[in-house]
Structure 1
Amino acid sequence: MLKWFVPLSVVFFAGSLVGDLTHLPPVFSFFLTGIAIIPVAGWMGQATETLAIYAGPRVGGLLSATFGNAVELIIGIIALREGLQTLVKASITGSILGNLLFVLGISFLIGGIRHPIQRFNVKAARSQSAMLWLSVGVTFVLPAAFAASAKTDPSVGKVVSFVAAVVALVLYLSGLLFSLYTHRYLFETVHDAGEGHEQPPLSLWVAVVSLVITTVMVAFESEWLVGAVKVVGHRLGWSDVFMGVIVIAIVGNAAEHASAVWMAWKNKMELSTEIAVGSTLQVAMFVAPVLLLVSYAIGQPMSLLFSWPELMSMGAAVLLVVVLMLDGESNWLEGALALGAYFVMAVGFFMLKGLT
């Protein structure tokens, strides 16, 4: 069955290209491109699962998140060169909210329907919770607070943003050193009683090559999908911020999201949470700081000053997820709570037509 995943994706993606070239309705291209991502997501999930079996869920989830966020980083740099700082920051907000509430919420919900109680490493969850607090509190909230207190001096926000970005980047790399090397034993997988050694669905090199190929395919398909969504969204009267924070954040990372949910369905919650939460940490503490540093290098300075609705939403999302993860267990109700919070935020951003 897996051998048909990529060919099916190519067929559907080619159909969306034909639809665009022949000026068929954008909904047609959106529908076909959306379908094209589904089989690629299945193959990407198999590759991630294989890497997790060989190297552990921490490394497998990290590689999956890194490949997915590499595409987002490249797109962000291109947008910065065009002077689209607001769009870049909206995409950062959307990635954080989407991964924490939407992806993790669906994973808890879908996995909890099949498995009443799902467990993951509580020590790893606590470490991730502390990093989440740091990522939003230090990287985003503090620059906004100091900038608001020094309204007559706009340089304050820029300086604090720059320092916060450098500190976040250093601490993120330190966290990787902590979890992958010096204290790796704290992040061991939670095994079910009687579970034997699992047979990898793919060989190691096939998994690595597959992850690279599917990431490239997802990059092209996601870019095309986002383009179709923008056209459809503008025709429906959706604001740019709602598009960036909610719609594009979901459809642009559909393959990565599907992998996290699929792992939860298979009761591999350590891998599922690592994809969702690990991707969030990488966006907040690596992608955002790198984009800020690059913006200075290319002469398009960007700060990490977000709007108050964005800051409050990210803070609320982190608070809720930290509370849900601290016990090292999840169930379908906790997933519903996260999805409910995400729905309220989506409605709020939809109503804020004039937010910049």
Structure 2
Amino acid sequence: MAKKIFMILTFAGVPLSVIGTLMHWSSTLLFIIYCVTIVALASYMGRATESLAIVTGPRIGGLLNATFGNAVELIISIFALKAGLVGVVLASLTGSVLGNLLLVAGLSFFVGGLKFKRQHFNVHDARHNSALLIFAVIVAFVIPEVFAMDMNDSKTLSLSVGISVILIALYLAALFFKLVTHRGVYQSKAEGGAGHHDEEPEWGKGKAMAILLAATVAVAYVAENLVHTFEEVGESFGWSELFIGIIIVAIVGNAAEHASAVIMAYKNKMDIAVEIAVGSTLQVAMFVAPVLVLISLLFEKSMPLVFSMPEMVSMVVAVLLAISIANDGETNWFEGLTLLGAYVIMGIGFYLL
């Protein structure tokens, strides 16, 4: 049923997006059409990456899901940077970190926990990712914030560029560590078993890759037009630039990951669910954000890696809470509810700012 609904939304949403753009419909109507279309397209991306995950295994499958899921947000952010909306981009990056660690992980743990009393995942991966989360968010994001207090804009941007290059290099090294030099060294029972290998993928490898590519191209078109509706929609609903970036852009941009992680948790495939939630956060902090800093140098308004104090505090709290819950390698519905509660509290705060 859900697949049919998303199919209808996709095949109706894409043409309506094109027609509405050409005919200059109201920004509010277009905003709704664009968001629904992106979410529908993201469902196809999620199903395609789920098919690939069955073939390639939890780690690579989770990485693929996070990568193509973040591709949507990266595309939206590039067009936002081009339009000079640096605040929206920084807020959307914050929203991705909060959304993945609190909303996606929280929903996954909660939904999976309602069906299974205790769910287990690779504790070695959890601890490895915890260290990277502390480095990526608490070290690499807090340091520019602190040093920028005594620097001019030029020096702050130079510091941001330097940190961005280090983050990208370390992220690539982390992938090399997990997928090449230490592949299988910290393998969990779930990964080592033959359970998921017996499952048939919905689509073959070639078809899944083709659908991913087509959906990404369609999302790029819709996302470019979505950015142009932010200002008018924000004024109409009384939404701040911060709220649009942290809640709206982050949820729409990460729709594929949200759906996939929850589905995987419901099927008790917690290694994939956690890899999607945490792996996506690491990719945003260590790759997407630094890449956007470097890309912003090509535009009129550059983006330093400096967040507002509410954004910074929220991300640090989210990281510490997620680490404290996930570090034991098992979870339940109440821990998921705790993460969701933290997300709602922060959402209310950003709405009222």
TM-score normalised to structure 2 length = 0.87
C-alpha deviation, 1:64, in angstroms: 1.7
Q: Mind listing any 5+ residue stretches in structure 1 that lack a counterpart?
A: none
C-alpha deviation, 1:189, in angstroms: 4.9
Amino acid at match of 2:269: K
Matched, 1:84 2:51: no
C-alpha deviation, 1:23, in angstroms: 7.6
Amino acid at match of 2:288: V
In the alignment, what sits opposite 1:59? 60
C-alpha change, 1:231 and 1:333, in structure 2 (3 Å) is: farther
CA distance in 1, matches of 2:253, 2:132: 25
In the alignment, what sits opposite 1:48? 49
CA distance in 2, matches of 1:38, 1:197: 30
CA distance in 2, matches of 1:156, 1:214: 39
CA distance in 2, matches of 1:3, 1:343: 30
CA distance in 1, matches of 2:322, 2:115: 21
Equivalent positions of 1:200-349 (< 5 A) are 200-221=201-222, 231-298=232-299, 300-349=301-350
Which moved further from structure 2: 25-34 or 251-260?
25-34
C-alpha change, 1:302 and 1:38, in structure 2 (3 Å) is: closer
Identity of aligned residues (%): 49
C-alpha change, 1:92 and 1:257, in structure 2 (3 Å) is: same
C-alpha deviation, 1:127, in angstroms: 1.0
Matched, 1:120 2:102: no
SS of the residue 2:71 aligns to: helix
C-alpha deviation, 1:267, in angstroms: 1.5
SS of the residue 1:315 aligns to: helix
Tell whether the 8 Å contact from 1:90 to 1:241 is kept in structure 2 after alignment.
yes
Tell whether the 8 Å contact from 1:124 to 1:186 is kept in structure 2 after alignment.
no
C-alpha change, 1:286 and 1:42, in structure 2 (3 Å) is: closer
Matched, 1:186 2:185: yes
How many residues were matched structurally?
Answer: 350
CA displacement, residues 206-237 of structure 1 (integer Å, 9 cap, x when unaligned): 22112222333344455566666764443121
CA distance in 1, matches of 2:230, 2:184: 44
CA displacement, residues 71-121 of structure 1 (integer Å, 9 cap, x when unaligned): 332332333333332222112111111111111111111111122211111
C-alpha deviation, 1:173, in angstroms: 0.5
C-alpha change, 1:81 and 1:11, in structure 2 (3 Å) is: closer
CA distance in 1, matches of 2:120, 2:133: 20
CA distance in 2, matches of 1:73, 1:24: 26
C-alpha change, 1:295 and 1:6, in structure 2 (3 Å) is: same
Which moved further from structure 2: 97-106 or 33-42?
33-42
In the alignment, what sits opposite 1:166? 165
SS of the residue 2:190 aligns to: coil
Which moved further from structure 2: 85-94 or 2-11?
2-11
In the alignment, what sits opposite 1:131? 132
CA distance in 2, matches of 1:296, 1:22: 33
Amino acid at match of 1:291: L
Which moved further from structure 2: 33-42 or 138-147?
33-42
CA distance in 1, matches of 2:105, 2:228: 26
Q: Mind listing any 5+ residue stretches in structure 2 that lack a counterpart?
A: none
In the alignment, what sits opposite 1:109? 110
CA distance in 1, matches of 2:36, 2:219: 12
Which moved further from structure 2: 43-52 or 276-285?
43-52
C-alpha change, 1:329 and 1:96, in structure 2 (3 Å) is: same
C-alpha deviation, 1:295, in angstroms: 2.2
CA distance in 1, matches of 2:39, 2:157: 41
CA distance in 2, matches of 1:119, 1:76: 35
Amino acid at match of 2:92: S
C-alpha change, 1:291 and 1:226, in structure 2 (3 Å) is: closer
Amino acid at match of 2:282: L
Tell whether the 8 Å contact from 1:37 to 1:218 is kept in structure 2 after alignment.
yes
- RMSD of Structure 2 on Structure 1 (CA): 2.8
CA displacement, residues 173-197 of structure 1 (integer Å, 9 cap, x when unaligned): 1000000100011353542988373
Tell whether the 8 Å contact from 1:57 to 1:189 is kept in structure 2 after alignment.
no
CA distance in 1, matches of 2:23, 2:300: 39
C-alpha change, 1:190 and 1:9, in structure 2 (3 Å) is: farther
TM-score normalised to structure 1 length = 0.87
C-alpha change, 1:82 and 1:18, in structure 2 (3 Å) is: closer
CA distance in 2, matches of 1:79, 1:226: 6
CA distance in 2, matches of 1:63, 1:203: 15
Tell whether the 8 Å contact from 1:222 to 1:253 is kept in structure 2 after alignment.
no
SS of the residue 1:184 aligns to: coil
C-alpha deviation, 1:301, in angstroms: 2.9
CA displacement, residues 136-186 of structure 1 (integer Å, 9 cap, x when unaligned): 1222101111222x25x5555333322211111111010000001000113
CA displacement, residues 39-89 of structure 1 (integer Å, 9 cap, x when unaligned): 544433332122112111111121122122223323323333333322221
Which moved further from structure 2: 2-11 or 70-79?
2-11
CA displacement, residues 2-41 of structure 1 (integer Å, 9 cap, x when unaligned): 6885455212444566677778776655555555455544
Amino acid at match of 2:72: V
Tell whether the 8 Å contact from 2:50 to 2:65 is kept in structure 1 after alignment.
no
